[in-house]
Amino acid sequence: MRHADYTRKTQELSQRETQAVEVVKSEVGKARAHYEERAQLAMAAVQQLAGLKTPEQMLALAQTDPAGYVAEQARQQQVHMVLQGIQQGLQQERQQQSQMTEQEQAQKFSQAWGVLGQHGLDKPKLAAIYESASKNYGFAKEQFATVYDPKLVLMMRDAVAYRELQAKVKDAKEKAATAPRLPTRQNVQPATQAQQRREARFKSGRASLKDLAAHLANT
């Protein structure tokens, strides 16, 4: 009883931990999406408010107002630096998100292999299950690359095993139907008490004509 309670409490704690991790991941994902959205808006606002001149406009300014051209060039460089800083922040955020996604995938794969290993499945057996599922159920092999839930793999294993069992049963029935028939054994009727008494009279020499007629009728 204590062992069952301990197991139940352990499972509950594990479920709570998993739920907490999922909540944190969800909140972090929302924050990152919000950050990227704000960064995109900031870049658009800087570009709009800065009023950056085109290369043609800068060339005309250099010809008509050299001093103004130098000042405008310095201002545009500062604006570009701000934009580059925002862009670098976006790239770093995307890289971190990509790395976290890869780590999550690796963790899910590790957890899945732990469960599958408890059921006696290794990579060759898993490949055979995927091959059979692809052949018999029309799955594309690329679809298996995103299967992280071991329960789905176990379901596919059971489906493949059931299909193989059906094929064996069908093959056995076909072989039984085409196999040569064994000769039918004739049932030997046991001797009746009357026959036994009659044979005893023949052995003792006391058989009558009636006994002889009955013996000839049964032979």
Contacts of 34 (CB under 8 A, 6+ apart): none
Please say if the pLDDT value at position 20 is more than 50. no
Both tokens of residue 68? 């103004």
Q: Are 211 and 201 in contact (CB under 8 A)?
A: yes
> If you average pLDDT over residues 112-121, what whole number do you get?
86
Tens digits of residue pLDDT in 55-113: 888 888 888 888 888 888 888 888 778 778 777 877 777 777 777 677 777 888 888 88
103 or 12, which is more confident: 103
Check residue 215 and give its pLDDT. Answer: 63
12-16, 104-108, 153-157: least confident range: 12-16
Q: Which residues contact 178 (CB under 8 A, 6 or more apart)?
A: none
The total number of residues written for the chain in this structure: 219
Which DSSP letter does residue 205 get? T
Q: Which residues of 136-171 are buried (b: 16+ CB within 10 A; e: fewer)?
A: eeeeeeeebeebeebeebeebbeebeeeeeeeeeee
List for the chain the helix, strand, coil content (%; round to 5). 85, 0, 15
